[in-house]
Amino acid sequence: MEIHIVTDAVERAGVVADVFVRTLQESVGSGTVLGLATGSSPVPAYTELIRRHREEGLSFAGVRAFLLDEYVGLPPGHEQSYHRFIRENFTSHVDIDDSAVLSPDGSAADPAAEAAAYDRRITEAGGVDLQILGIGSNGHIAFNEPGSSLASRTRVVGLTRRTIADNARFFENSEDVPVRALSQGLGTIREARRIVLTATGEGKAEAVAQLAEGAISARWPATSLQLHPDVTVVVDEAAASRLELADYYRYARGLEHSGPVAPHS
Ligand code: GLP
């Protein structure tokens, strides 16, 4: 895991956006498949990518995108649907066609069948080249709550009371927050070829510490990312505040800009 501890929102957005640009450049011509996440954490990176598109000619032509999750009961056009969120905060502002942005259909009559079909659609598209993730304060990624199988696939999940409370801020009334969601599984997410996870604030500090340094366990679902070979974690000082090895991560990032051996003193 490559851990970046950043000083402000601009630097955080820039480091995440750079991972997107590197992925787009590497898979040029073959139609990059992006895995997109909702929540507030990735928004500054989306804003930076929109800026680079407008001001620097960054193109997403040919890109297809798969969303991580969707609330059960909300159709794609619903105000609070994740599909609408991603269009409003990212894809409609760049050259990604609406029809190229796929999400599990929260209004499907048979949510379990929809989940399995969505998982297959990702595989049939050739898999995800880059998956961006946030993290829940309880260590969930997508909606894989504590207790999720580390090999889980896209499925219907029940949301914990803590997640419902955390997400209530996006709804007018907390009673309106759906209690179930369709979510890519931990096994599905780990099939992405590259992953970038970003988090901010003290409320995420314990989850981030577990993600990077905890024992791999269903108790903290994000720890399953320790089994992935290409994960970049971009966190601010507050979210990094419980990392025991923070000094090492800062030192290691510094070494990336130096030569192969230590300079003579
Ligand atoms: C929801 C989403 C997750 C997201 C999490 C954190 O639960 N399903 O994908 O990572 O919220 O959201 P935020 O970034 O707003 O803290």
How does pLDDT run across 191-220, given as a tens digit for each residue?
A: 999 999 999 999 999 999 999 999 999 999
Ligand 1 atom showing the smallest separation from residue 39 Cα: 15
Ligand 1 atom showing the smallest separation from residue 68 Cα: 9
| 69 within ligand 1 shell (Cβ under 6 A) | yes
Distance 20 CA to ligand 1 centre (A): 19
The highest-level CATH class for domain 2-127+135-190+200-222 is alpha beta
Distance 160 CA to ligand 1 centre (A): 13
pLDDT level of residue 28 (50, 70, 90 thresholds): low
Q: Report the C-alpha gap between 34 and 195 in whole angstroms.
A: 10
Single-letter amino acid, residue 230: D
| 45 within ligand 1 shell (Cβ under 6 A) | no
Closest CA to 151 of 184, 105, 179: 184
| 36 within ligand 1 shell (Cβ under 6 A) | no
Q: What is the mean pLDDT of the chain?
A: 94
| 177 within ligand 1 shell (Cβ under 6 A) | no
Tell me which of 105, 114, 138, 236 is the catalytic residue. 138
Give the global pTM: 0.94
Token duo for residue 107: 């209004």
Ligand 1 atom showing the smallest separation from residue 143 Cα: 8
Residue with tokens 């957005």: 13
C-beta separation of 69 from 183 below 8 A: yes
DSSP string, 53-117: HHHH----TT-EEEESEEETT--TTSTT-HHHHHHHHTGGGTT--GGGEE---TT-SSHHHHHHH
pLDDT level of residue 263 (50, 70, 90 thresholds): low
Burial code of 125-136, b = ≥16 C-beta within 10 A, e = fewer? eeebbbbbbbbb
Distance 199 CA to ligand 1 centre (A): 9
Q: Is 26 a catalytic residue?
A: no
pLDDT digits (tens, 9 = 90+) for 74-132: 887 888 889 999 999 999 999 999 999 999 999 999 999 999 999 999 999 999 999 99
Q: Is 89 a catalytic residue?
A: no
